[in-house]
Structure 1
Amino acid sequence: MRDTVLLSLALSALPVLAMAEVPKVVTDMPVVQSLTAQVMGDLGTPAVLLDQGANPHSYQMKPSQARALQEAGLLFWVGPEMTPWLSRAIDAAGGKVPQIALLHSDGTHLQSYVDDDDDDHDHDDDHDHDDDHDHDDHADADGHSHEGLDPHAWLDPHNAGNWVSVIAAALAKADPENAATYEANAKAAQERIDTLDKDLRAELTPVKDRPFVVYHAAYGYFAAHYGLQDEGSVAFGDATDPGAAHLSALRADLKAKGVVCAFPEASHDPRPMQRLIEGTEVRLGQPLDPEGTQITPGPDLYDTLMRTIGGNLSGCLGQ
């Protein structure tokens, strides 16, 4: 009788043990959380470190967020080029946080902030994704990166689809019992991204030859993927303010390049963009949100982010 009771107790505990094997997942910013949430599905909800509305390029973690990072079973992040503050936090944790820097995962298409064909390539080199990547050469001590590798790679749907596969593989390795679920969820996410890509291409093709400028240099991947004419930005790639000489040159380009629209950004003051186009025929478009910091976090965020960018671009450029 005693053995029967013990066996019953053991069997009743199995679902709890299985659930306990799902790793505690932490992500750096909303767009990565969205892709990861699609892969995890009902198995769990990944945490996101970046507060809603905060600048991902320069952020100070709260003590509770630092603890969450140290307790993470798995961290998915873009990489140190995007969030140098997180790179420092990983180092402070002794490099013991199991982590995947998605920007440096196999199959990711990379491009530079500057026109350099040698920097545009498929990232096919082998990497140890569980090790810290030292890419401090891309950013100075303040996290400012004005040239070199552009980290906003999720704005190319090809990369988002690739990252979903990378996330699923890492989760399956950490939690083999649920590998089939991660794989199925990743396939569904990729199909959703494919549909999104087709819809955006159809929407943007009619305006692909109409030049525009943006608030900060975040849209290179998006413009390249859809063949759009992004002619420059007010702020640098990490959203730091430029000098007067840069603004003067950009203003001259408005007429010289026939710029049609200028797009401010959701989390930044629109007045610099308004001053830039004052006295010109350039239209002010709706704000863009490349990092999704103004969108409610969750599995739908990536789709919403991309469709909103596409809709705002076509809405102004198509007038």
Structure 2
Amino acid sequence: MSRKLISLSAIATLMGGTAMADVPNVAVDIAPVHSLVARVMEGVGTPTLLLPPGASPHEYSLRPSEATALQDADIVVWMGEDLAPWMEGAITTLAGDARVLTLLDADETMLLDFREGALFEEHGHEDEHDDADHAEDEHGHEAEHDNEAHAESGQDHENEHDHEEHAEDAHDNDEDDHAHDHGAYDSHAWLSPSNAARWFNLIAAELSSADPENAGAYFANAAAGQAELETLNAQVNATLEPVRGGSFIVFHDGYQYFEADFDFPASGAISLSDATDPSPARIAEIQKRVREEGIDCVLTEPQFNPGIVATVLEGTQANTGVSDPLGSDLEPGPALYPQLIRNLATTLADCM
């Protein structure tokens, strides 16, 4: 009898191993997107996170184990080269035969233009996409960009951004150069739960194409994830409601997708990106706004120079809070994404 039990157990183990072998190997770039993929794969398989918590997606060199995971991937899910320009070459070299889902290129993704100035005027986060597919998106945001600065300098750029502030201020040369380097749109699109809800279906469809036997589980998980995001949105709005009408600035302009989803716009950014230090002229602009308009809060991030924030806050009554748009301190997995969004709202509300 025990021999039969052992035999049946061995067969079950073998069958289970075979089933798992059919589940695609999935590699994901950053923790928030990894969390969404993990939610869709829950109960079926586990994706591999390529960038460790705290690593900058803008510049990174894969470790041997991460390169191997990318090479073994059947599916790669990543934001796109606007966020991680180095990764496109890595995917081509190491995962040339893999299916690739580039979220920033998906027609369903809501995209927002970069805001170039240090100070943000009242805005509805509207932009006009040159891409016809994105223009048809129901969330299409319209904006008119003044390209006079580019026209006067003789530079021909595909993206029409207003660089008048940079042109008028010679001290902003480094930031202006950076503005010319970024892609067409703000790449921090994962901070919009509305985008995350759309991506659940895209991820489920990609997984189902590679693994049709588990398609039912993938789409059921995606639907459950979308329902969880609806609850999350209600929680975040409840958290922010008591401080609506308050004003805040951010260290780098990476939060406008969160701002758009929850109708809570920032007043400005100290730095254009998390890869550059702000110029003295830009800091002076922000200082003036903080003092004259009674800004309530300055949001910074763990990797930034606290001395710059202290300079901006000098002589003001503004509070400061530390936000983490990549979830660097959170455990990777299905629960990371909703906790990341929840933490952003709590940090902002507490700071206000």
Fold shared, TM-score > 0.5 on shorter chain? yes
Secondary structure at the aligned position of 1:110 is classed as: coil
Q: Do the aligned residues in 2 keep the contact of 1:262 with 1:282 (CA within 8 Å)?
A: yes
In structure 2, do the counterparts of structure 1 residues 55 and 113 end up closer, same or farther at CA, with 3 Å as the change threshold? same
Taking the aligned partners of 2:260 and 2:292, their CA distance within structure 1 comes to 21
Aligned partner letter, 1:158 = S
In structure 2, do the counterparts of structure 1 residues 307 and 108 end up closer, same or farther at CA, with 3 Å as the change threshold? same
1:223 aligns with 2:223: no
Taking the aligned partners of 2:284 and 2:101, their CA distance within structure 1 comes to 41
Q: TM-score, normalised by structure 1?
A: 0.85
Q: CA deviation at 1:44?
A: 1.4
Q: Which runs of 5+ in 2 are unaligned?
A: 1-7, 116-124, 138-157, 160-175
In structure 2, do the counterparts of structure 1 residues 117 and 142 end up closer, same or farther at CA, with 3 Å as the change threshold? closer
Q: Do the aligned residues in 2 keep the contact of 1:155 with 1:306 (CA within 8 Å)?
A: yes
What residue number does 2:192 align with?
Answer: 156
Q: CA deviation at 1:302?
A: 0.5
Q: CA deviation at 1:63?
A: 2.5
Q: Do the aligned residues in 1 keep the contact of 2:256 with 2:265 (CA within 8 Å)?
A: no
Q: Do the aligned residues in 2 keep the contact of 1:57 with 1:143 (CA within 8 Å)?
A: no
What residue number does 2:122 align with?
Answer: none
Q: TM-score, normalised by structure 2?
A: 0.77
Q: Percent identity?
A: 39
Taking the aligned partners of 1:36 and 1:143, their CA distance within structure 2 comes to 31
Taking the aligned partners of 2:55 and 2:179, their CA distance within structure 1 comes to 15
What residue number does 2:317 align with?
Answer: 281
Secondary structure at the aligned position of 2:27 is classed as: strand
In structure 2, do the counterparts of structure 1 residues 148 and 276 end up closer, same or farther at CA, with 3 Å as the change threshold? farther
Task: Name which of 317, 323, 328 aligns with 1:293.
Answer: 328
Deviates more, 1:262-271 or 1:243-252: 262-271
Aligned partner letter, 1:256 = E
What residue number does 1:212 align with?
Answer: 248
What residue number does 1:96 align with?
Answer: 97
Aligned partner letter, 1:221 = Y
What residue number does 1:82 align with?
Answer: 83
Q: CA deviation at 1:123?
A: 2.9
Q: Do the aligned residues in 2 keep the contact of 1:112 with 1:120 (CA within 8 Å)?
A: no
What residue number does 2:112 align with?
Answer: 111
Q: CA deviation at 1:97?
A: 3.1
CA deviation vs aligned residue, 1:156-182 (integer Å, no higher than 9, x gap):
111011111111110011100000010
Q: CA deviation at 1:242?
A: 2.1
Pairs aligned (count): 298
What residue number does 1:199 align with?
Answer: 235
Q: CA deviation at 1:251?
A: 1.4
Q: Do the aligned residues in 2 keep the contact of 1:146 with 1:238 (CA within 8 Å)?
A: no
Q: Which runs of 5+ in 1 are unaligned?
A: 1-7, 127-136
Q: Do the aligned residues in 1 keep the contact of 2:249 with 2:268 (CA within 8 Å)?
A: yes
In structure 2, do the counterparts of structure 1 residues 219 and 145 end up closer, same or farther at CA, with 3 Å as the change threshold? farther
Instruction: Could you list the structure 1 runs, at least 4 aligned residues long, displaced by more than 6 angstroms after superposition.
Output: 140-144
Deviates more, 1:140-149 or 1:274-283: 140-149
Aligned partner letter, 2:127 = D
Taking the aligned partners of 1:83 and 1:118, their CA distance within structure 2 comes to 24
CA deviation vs aligned residue, 1:219-276 (integer Å, no higher than 9, x gap):
0011111111301222223442122221111111212333111111133333321221
In structure 2, do the counterparts of structure 1 residues 35 and 94 end up closer, same or farther at CA, with 3 Å as the change threshold? closer
Taking the aligned partners of 1:102 and 1:212, their CA distance within structure 2 comes to 29
Task: Name which of 247, 272, 285 aligns with 1:249.
Answer: 285
Q: Do the aligned residues in 2 keep the contact of 1:110 with 1:120 (CA within 8 Å)?
A: no
